[in-house]
A and B are shown apart, each in its own frame.
Chain A
Amino acid sequence: MSESEMALSAGQSGHGAFMEPSPYGIQSKKLTMWLFIISDAVTFGAILMVFSYLRAGTPNWNAPFRFSPSIINGMVMTFVLLTSSLTMLGAVEAAKAGRKAASLKWLGGTVLLGTLFAVLHIREWFHMFDEGWRLFQNPTGGPVIFGAAFFSITGLHLMHVISGVIALIVIAIGYSTDWLDANHVETTGLYWHFVDLVWMFVFPLVYLMNASR
């Protein structure tokens, strides 16, 4: 057995007659994805705490986002990402039922929606650059820390979305060529839902709570 196969199969097997059953009854890979999600949630928690701490400590905070276009754009992005979670659910369910073609279609839909989210996000960034926003610059005259926090938090999230899209493409190709199986689809699904969940904290905290009246 080649080493790559060995590394691949290590951890997804081994609960036969010679092993204690895993306490959660799931594959090591899926368990590790859950552990990674816990760890990553702490990372996002830390960076959102940084934002909240600095905001609470800044007396002259001004809410820079107008309803149109910023909040509307954010709502569209939220809708796109939530829908992509739904299509991901379709992909996982189809893969579990062994309907590979359907699963691949759902995966394709998820990739498209994820890409659309990233495009909308980057477009928004460029608009903000045009308005004069930088990591260290606030064109509305409010605290400069908003730019730093906004681009760091959304940048970290966007990085997760883009890595997720790449992972989904790899998984879809692997699944279609029988190199990977339904479990890989499900494990990637866990990650994708997590990225979606994080956005449900980022959107209210960074966008809605900074909507100007």
Chain B
Amino acid sequence: MHETSEHAVHQHAPPTSFIRKHIFSLDHKVIGKQYYGLALLAVFIGMVLSWLMRIHLAWPTWPIPGLDKLSAVGAPAGVMTPEYYLSLMTMHGTIMVFFVLTNAPFAAFGNYFLPIQIGAEDMAFPRFNMMSFWTTFTAFLVMIAAFFVTDGPPISGWTAYAPLSAVGKDAGPGLAMGQNLWAISIAIFCIGSLLGALNFIATTLDLRTKGMSLSRMPYSTWAWFVTAVISLLAFAVLLPACILLILDRTAGTSFFIPSGLVLSDRLQPHAGGSVLLWQHLFWFFGHPEVYIAILPSIGIVCHILPVFARKPLLGPRATIGCMIAIGFLSYMVWGHHMFVSGMNPFSANLFSVPTLIITIPATILTLLLIGTVYGAKMRFTTPALFCLGFISVFISGGISGFFLAQPSLDTYLHATYFVVAHFHFVMAVASIFGVFAATYFWFPKMYGRMMSDTLGKWHFWLTFIGVYCIFMPMHYLGLAGNVRRYSAFVDDYLIALIPVHKFITIAALATGAAQLIFLFNLIWSRFRGPIAPDNPWEGTSLEWSTTSPPPFDNFGGRHMVVYQGPNEYGVEGTANDYVMQTSPEKIVTG
């Protein structure tokens, strides 16, 4: 150990007490699992909220048993009021975007596999790492507390548009304490995410093992790294925005509240602010946030797909270049969320151009993935299916992006279900498919047991068909002029569209129920699944060079040396058809 003294400081004995081992653990693997658990809890709550909304949209007069227990005011006798519908919608969006789509693909899998994939023994700052999880967890508790305050969660949506979010209880239910809790929770979440981002970047740059040059890093590691850079700059803007919002709400300032606003027959004691300012700040964060949700899943798919296609990913450098380009461009397009906000229409044109430019790297990425599959002898395992599903939903959701990027079309479509369909496909479902692929792919490594492939395939097909049944019809609803954020369509021209809503609701309930297969598979395989070998999928990256599950210091005291890129599949003239990153053998090309 002495000659390795510089490196040896990393080697530490595993903790023995339950609390240090499982709760306040410094081990990146435990912290990754904690993030995953939090995301799983959050996605369950978020899904139930979407069910409640969907049932109300399809059958607006049906009482939902037990809902009056959650809020007697918001849902008298189980039928939700329009305001309570908005409360549920706010919480659905907030929980899903922040606590699921940001946590699961990035914080959970990134924490677990980024250090392993670069051959490190832990993150650069394990204590920071623990702090970021517990900060995020605190933010979650504060957010959930909004359900239990007097008039429930805020009604201002996950974007918390001012002045609705800034003025307080005069504007509607949930805007007193509920909105305070929302703003505080998001501010805390920003701090946790910033800590995490610092840690990810420092780890990627500084803790790579011998031979792991930047160009040899797996695509998933690249994606987590780029995402961390985006987080570092995006959450740094949301944090002051939330603090200013809290000041507006509690200290009497008026950054986001204009003069002369009359609400509930009361002149608001505010003057001089700008409502558009909030949107500018929020979307300067919000658009990069969309890529924080999707980029890790893109990286995960780029990492997993070649393993099952048994051939290298097409255009390795182009792939990484596209990820960086997407990250860079994400900061120039925030105004495309504001085409109908009253912003100067000339700015709308200005924001439209970079938005359309983003479609270039996104399209190149998609084509490279399709090109990788083309002509491949695919191994159709569950993770492979979810990768192919990812490509499908990413295209389906991406294509509507071409329409929405243009102000002339967006003006008509912006407030309709077309937008709901677009962002659910391209950001939510695509990202979640990446998480599913990652779960099935890495579960054997994390727990040392295989997940059931049969159940996995059932889960995939039901989910895949299900999400198309839910979100495809929403495009038509939107084109037919069905506005979003309305709690019911009972008394106007939209009544003709109710059958479509009923279909979507049934599909949503069924698809949600299909997730029970996944949950069962997860729990059953954890305890009863067949024992996993070290490299069940015949992958090349470093996580497959250690035991399943990895020991406390990831490689059992060994120092990994990397000789190859992560992409050596289908190599001719080798014993297997692949070459591990740690294998020193020379690859003869040509």
Contacts and interface: CB of A to CB of B under 8 A. Distances in A.
A54 interface: yes
B202 A11 contact: yes
Interface stretch (A1-9, A83-91, A93-101, A178-186): A1-9
B438 to A, nearest CB: 25
A15 interface: yes
Contacts of A148: 247, 253-255
Most buried by B among A13, A16, A28: A28
A3 to B, nearest CB: 7
A32 B198 contact: yes
Give the top 10 A-B pairs by smallest Cβ distance, nearest first.
A148-B253, A145-B272, A16-B6, A136-B252, A42-B236, A11-B124, A20-B208, A18-B559, A9-B9, A7-B127
Contacts of A116: none
A57 interface: yes
A46 B236 contact: yes
Contacts of B208: 19-20
A10 interface: yes
Interface string B245-264: 00100011111000000000
A37 to B, nearest CB: 11
B247 A46 contact: no
A22 B205 contact: yes
Contacts of A24: 205
Contacts of A14: 6-7, 9-10, 206-207
B240 A10 contact: no
Interface in B204-240: 205-214, 232-233, 235-237, 239-240
Given A18-B210, A148-B254, A54 B241 contact: no
A189 B210 CA distance: 32
Contacts, number: 156
Most buried by B among A19, A46, A135, A145: A19
B202 A32 contact: yes
B31 interface: no
Contacts of B126: 6-7, 10
A195 B281 CA distance: 23
B145 interface: no
Given A39-B198, A136-B251, A10 B233 contact: no
Contact of A144 (B125, B206, B271, B274): B271
B26 interface: yes
Contacts of B212: 20
Contacts of A43: 236-237, 239-240
Contact of A32 (B4, B125, B237): B125
A135 B247 contact: yes
A73 interface: no
B83 interface: no
Contact of A152 (B244, B252, B284): B244
Contacts of A20: 208-213
Interface in B382-407: none
B272 A144 contact: yes
B277 interface: yes
A23 interface: yes
Contacts of B559: 18
Contact of B244 (A16, A31, A50): A50
Interface residues of B, number: 56
9 contacts: A11-B202, A14-B6, A18-B4, A19-B207, A42-B237, A46-B281, A47-B240, A58-B272, A152-B244
Contacts of B122: 10
Contact of A53 (B4, B205, B274): B274
A14 B122 CA distance: 12
Nearest to B284: A46
A86 B194 CA distance: 30
A54 B12 contact: no
Interface string B186-199: 00000000100111
B12 A13 contact: no
B251 A135 contact: yes
B126 to A, nearest CB: 6
A174 B127 CA distance: 19
Contacts of B211: 20
Interface in B113-135: 122, 124-127
A195 to B, nearest CB: 16
Given A43-B240, A148-B247, A152-B247, 18 more contacts: A10-B125, A13-B7, A18-B7, A28-B202, A31-B201, A32-B124, A32-B125, A36-B198, A39-B197, A39-B198, A46-B281, A50-B240, A54-B277, A134-B252, A135-B247, A136-B254, A136-B269, A156-B240
A140 B274 CA distance: 22
Nearest to B130: A7
Interface string B4-21: 101101101001000000
A24 to B, nearest CB: 7
A184 B251 CA distance: 38
Contacts of A17: 4, 210
B316 interface: no
A78 to B, nearest CB: 23
A50 B255 contact: yes
Interface in A18-61: 18-20, 22-24, 28, 31-32, 35-36, 38-40, 42-43, 46-47, 50, 53-54, 57-58
A143 interface: yes
A133 B249 CA distance: 19
Contacts of B12: 1, 3, 6
